[in-house]
Amino acid sequence: MADPQFSIQAEKLSKHFGHFTAVNEITFNVVKGEIFGFLGANGAGKTTAMRMLCGLSKPSSGKALIAGFDVYKNTEDIKRNIGYMSQKFSLYEDLTVLENIRFYGGIYGLSNEQLKNKSEQLITRLGLQQEAKKLVSSLPLGWKQKLSFSVAVLHEPQIVFLDEPTGGVDPVTRRQFWNLIYEASARGITIFVTTHYMDEAEYCNRISIMVDGKIEALDTPANLKQRFNVPSMDDVFYQLARGAQRTDN
């Protein structure tokens, strides 16, 4: 089943909690280096799906290969080959910028030599020379997010999973964050990103839209707008999500 052109292959992947089906037979492939947007209203099942893809939660049924590794059997291999960033799980606020980079680099298995080089490069690239020895808690949110993303790709993983990475910042700061995403994608890293911001959906190569646990649409932003005959992704999303039954949105 493993196809080398894809970094994610999911087939009829489902997750049940008791009698409730949070993720309902989702099937999709993500091409290596692609920026893949994973959209859906609150409660659609995005986080549950992403946790299965990261090897953090066992599926109830279906198949998935992440960087060629099986989500049932090879969860440790998956964890070594991915990066992960979410609003909830992020940097240590009580460590400095440099300490955070070294800490995560160490977890990802970088050598001391690599750690030294990588942290210098990263600090220079982000323009954080003045802040390197300051506590992360003192940085503005937008900088924390950029640093957090850079740390998640420090070990050059095959795929990086981003769970609402830019929540709470303005469009200009989001745009700067997306420049980092483009750079990572150009280096061949696959980007799997959930977002509620439709301007960000426009930046993705392809997006899928989940409604009540199912993928209801999957295509490029341009094709989706054409198919629904609407001018913006906002309208596409509204057309699909307005029929959602789940009430926690």
Ligand X SMILES: Nc1ncnc2c1ncn2[C@@H]1O[C@H](COP(=O)(O)OP(=O)(O)OP(=O)(O)O)[C@@H](O)[C@H]1O
Residue 219 C-beta: closest distance to ligand X, Å: 20
Site string for ligand X, 187-226 (x = CB under 6 A): ----------------------------------------
> Among residues 46 and 118, whose Cβ is nearest to ligand X?
46
Residue 55 C-beta: closest distance to ligand X, Å: 16
User: Which CB contacts under 8 angstroms, 24+ apart, belong to 67-72?
Assistant: 67/7, 67/158, 67/159, 68/2, 68/4
DSSP 25-49: EEEEEEETT-EEEEEE-TTSSHHHH
> Among residues 48 and 81, whose Cβ is nearest to ligand X?
48
47 near ligand X (CB under 6 A): yes
Residue 165 C-beta: closest distance to ligand X, Å: 13
Pick one of 16, 206, 214, 246: the residue that binds ligand X (CB under 6 A): 246
Pick one of 28, 46, 64, 159: the residue that binds ligand X (CB under 6 A): 46
Residue 65 C-beta: closest distance to ligand X, Å: 21
Give helix 141-152 / helix 97-107 axis angle, nearest 10°: 30
Site string for ligand X, 5-44 (x = CB under 6 A): ------------x--x-x-----------------x-xxx
* Total residues binding ligand X (CB under 6 A): 13
| 101, 222, 225 from 207: Cα distances, Å | 31, 10, 12
User: Which CB contacts under 8 angstroms, 24+ apart, belong to 15-23?
Assistant: 15/45, 15/48, 15/49, 15/52, 15/57, 15/59, 15/60, 16/60, 21/213, 22/48, 22/213, 23/48, 23/49, 23/52, 23/59, 23/213
Residues that bind ligand X (CB under 6 A): 17, 20, 22, 40, 42-48, 246, 248
